Amino acid sequence: MSKQRVFHSLHFIMTAGILVLAVSFPVFPNIAVAQEEAPVIEDEIYEEADYAYGTVSSISPTSLVLSEYDIDSDQFLEVSYQIAPDVELFNIESIADIKNGDEVDVDFITENDQKVVVGLSLYEETGTEEEV
């Protein structure tokens, strides 16, 4: 076989391979790029929930009072919440881990004019500032 014929055969094979890849990419994009997507948490309760942040004034297994800054009045207000029995906890094992003076984030819904906590997270410092 001559060198020219080998060259033409290789050129044909490479061109055919590129053509197959070019046609396959739009048809089968998941084959061309294999990456794992992050799970999407779709929980209806959080779609309806509001958010608040404050310092715990008092807490029990069923209720929570936060000292929250109110932008409209430019002062701190005491805001009462009920804690849902199936509250989702973040950064803590149980409600007993939260003490007066802790800073928390709450996701809450309003039922019958009562704020009900459905998500509760203890604020933790990231420790990015240098200690002196």
Residues forming a β-bridge with 93: none
Q: What is the 3-state secondary structure (H, E, C) of 67-78?
A: EEEECCCCEEEE
Give residue-wise pLDDT tens across range 72-84.
999 999 999 999 9
Q: Are 107 and 118 in contact (CB under 8 A)?
A: yes
Q: Give buried/exposed letters for 58-76 (b at 16+ CB in 10 A, else e).
A: ebeeeebbbebeeeeeeee
R_g (Cα) of the chain, nearest Å: 29
- Tens digits of residue pLDDT in 91-126: 999 999 999 999 999 999 999 999 999 999 998 766
pTM, two decimals, is: 0.61
Q: pLDDT band at residue 66, thresholds of 50, 70 and 90? A: very high
Range scoring the smallest mean pLDDT among 8-17, 58-67, 118-127? 8-17
